[in-house]
Structure 1
């Protein structure tokens, strides 16, 4: 029985499908079970090359593995752009020294838990791989380029030409 009296219809039509996957600067350093078994829809990932909060290199690895699995996956990197490059409220590039980052923690899902690959134990933000310091900042050029790319991509996906 659905929770809170919700009907099955409140979750959408069973005939609905995912049209596209769009992701901005995600954390890609967690290997999930069946992570390559995604809905058959194009994947577009956008990342600042200077992102020190969630590293672009781990996302490039995931995109490469998706492509090897036959998926249509493309990652776009913006030179000099930081985490949150599309957030106009972060007009000035700033470093938060106390912000925790798991950027250098390799993790994997196993038996319903997220493990630290190095220790084999459940991951926590007390693990040695967790570092302090995160840079965020708006990048007008990267934002405008990403917006144009997303607009063109979704125009094609939804055949809006």
Structure 2
């Protein structure tokens, strides 16, 4: 088990070294797996496979089309496949999501609303959103609390 974790860490470090890194980017999203961190700039986030859905939220008026990469795609870049991820906002609001509850398509780290980038005053530049209207499971207090905006970092908590 120790050898497997060591190999995974080495592969992760090599993978992370090949990814685009922009230190202290204004709209950067930091992703940390153990001791290895990457900062994805907006271009790197926008170059990931994109998901899109239209939904209403309790924080906005009317239906909005959100698009951005899935959280799954982002944590996969950092080699995070198990445990729990911690997401932190610019104001230090923190939520945790078990990796087992993250699918390939939901939630997404929205970087566009109705096809346009949005800034911190509009809950951006990254907002973790679910297709709330598509399933009552996305309308629970837990899911709403996990809908973190002004997202700046994602990190893992290794399983025991």
* TM-score relative to the length of structure 1: 0.25
Which one has a larger percent helix, Structure 1 or Structure 2?
Answer: 2
Which one has a larger percent strand, Structure 1 or Structure 2?
Answer: 2
Q: Which has the larger radius of gyration?
A: 1
